[in-house]
Amino acid sequence: MYTYKYPRPAVTADCIVFAKTNEGPKVLLVQRGNDPYKGDWAFPGGFMNMDETTEQAARRELEEETGLIVGKLHQVGAYDKVDRDPRGRVMTVAYYTTIDSEQPVKGGDDAAKAQWFLVDDHPTLAFDHNEILDKAVRLCYSEIH
């Protein structure tokens, strides 16, 4: 196997799911079951496996943590601030999708809980997920309103 003199960051993928409802657009969040940020809310997501793309990782994590399977994903962007994750050097690629209605979800894997929140009334999010959510809303504003 190859060895490198340069350190390599870990890569995660996050999935932002928006649902159209009569109350207004909602976003799917999970309550973290583990540190860091145990008990705080975040997007379904996690570390990419060596044999998958970031999009595949986002889909897998979404299904593992909420039970939800979705269609087309759109990339929000890559987030790589040096201190974005207290566990070490971690970058994430975030994706979003929209669905026509709120679907039943249940926390699984390392998510203690999964729940829908109004986009305009959600808890403060772990990591840099507030920043990511702001961009995702701007990208799909006309789709969810």
Q: Which two tokens stand for residue 106?
A: 């249940």
What is the pLDDT at residue 2?
A: 76
The string of pLDDT tens digits covering residues 70-114 is 999 999 999 999 999 999 999 999 999 999 999 999 999 999 999
Would you say 75 and 95 are in contact if contact means Cβ atoms under 8 Å apart? yes
- Domains of the chain are 10-144 (3.90.79.10)
The string of pLDDT tens digits covering residues 118-140 is 999 999 999 999 999 999 999 99
Query: Apex CA 119: angle with CA 110 and CA 128, to 5°?
Result: 55
Count Cα atoms within 13 angstroms, Cβ side, for 70.
32
Would you say 125 and 131 are in contact if contact means Cβ atoms under 8 Å apart? no
The string of pLDDT tens digits covering residues 25-57 is 999 999 999 999 999 999 999 999 999 999 999
- Its pTM stands at 0.95
Q: In sequence order, what are the beta bridge partners of 26? A: 19, 118
